[in-house]
Amino acid sequence: MLSYSSYTLTAVAALLVTCCALPECPGIPEPPGTPGLPGKDGLKGQERLTGLTRPSGNFLGPLRRDRLPWSQGVPVSLDSELHNVLVNLKPRLCRLEGVLALNEKIKVGGEKIFASNGKEVDFASALKSCEEAGGTLATPMNEEENKAIMGIVKQYNRYAYLGFTESRVSGQFQYLNGVPLNYTKWHNYEPNGKGTEKCVEMYTDGSWNDKKCNMRRLTICEF
């Protein structure tokens, strides 16, 4: 049986998966009563959330610690208050994504969010920064993701390392988990390092070149 926190995580994950591809965001209807518009029961979103007024800052605001989902024993699906919190998070997160995209802090490609810290470092340092931020190195798995990453490469006008390395078989590249690439965008005549260029950089046209791992390249992470 799922633990209660598993229910919560499942519900949040389901919500976020449907929320966070930015192009879908504008089409997502606001749940009734949010924000500031009364729903059928006449309550506005914040009032419906908890029946309390919203304190400054945190949009989860009035949720009390002793009522946090993982401290209770009821599945999310049966907890209408928590359900409302999650439903309200969805447009809220979409709006935040909109703000970040507007300010060119993130690029959204499919399910992923890409961002750079603007720093140029070697492959290992770039990967470490991404992981410390809770992500990994940008790893394009299809044309849409490749284009989103290219947008950041163009924005900074700097080549970037991608989340690939050469496998033990020279000339064959793999994801960081060891799985062979199933989408590639090699520049003409690449990869050509034959075992001497174990990392991969993205050029400003979005194409890829195998490259030594100790260069300074723009850090781009995915989340």
Residues interacting with ligand MAN, by CB under 6 A?
A: 190, 192-193, 197, 209-211
**Which of the choices ligand MAN, Ca ion, none does residue 107 contact, using the CB cut-off of 5 to 8 A by kind?**
none
Nearer to ligand MAN by C-beta: 30 or 197?
A: 197
Integer Cα distance of 56 and 61 in angstroms: 7
Nearer to Ca ion by C-beta: 166 or 197?
A: 197
CB 163 to ligand MAN: min, Å: 18
CA-wise closest residue to 49 among 66, 71, 32: 32
6 binds Ca ion (CB under 5 A): no
User: Left if phi > 0, otherwise alpha if psi is -120 to 50, otherwise beta: which for 157?
Assistant: left
CB 197 to ligand MAN: min, Å: 5
Contact 53, 46 (CB under 8 A): yes
Nearer to ligand MAN by C-beta: 158 or 211?
A: 211
Nearer to ligand MAN by C-beta: 77 or 196?
A: 196
CB 108 to Ca ion: min, Å: 29
Contact flags string 153-192 toward Ca ion, x per CB under 5 A: -------------------------------------x-x
CB 45 to ligand MAN: min, Å: 53
Integer Cα distance of 39 and 61 in angstroms: 20
CB 12 to ligand MAN: min, Å: 42
Integer Cα distance of 192 and 171 in angstroms: 7
Q: Give the contacts of 127 (CB within 8 A, at least 6 positions apart).
A: 136, 137, 161, 163, 176
Tokens 């928590």 locate to 82
The helix (run of H) or strand (run of E) holding residue 85 is helix 80-102
**Which of the choices Ca ion, ligand MAN, none does residue 166 contact, using the CB cut-off of 5 to 8 A by kind?**
none
CB 95 to ligand MAN: min, Å: 42
Nearer to ligand MAN by C-beta: 163 or 191?
A: 191
Integer Cα distance of 142 and 124 in angstroms: 24
> From residue 51, how far is each of 63, 159, 187, 214 by CA, in Å?
10, 51, 58, 56
- The residues that touch Ca ion, with contacts defined as CB under 5 A, are 190, 192-193, 197, 209-210
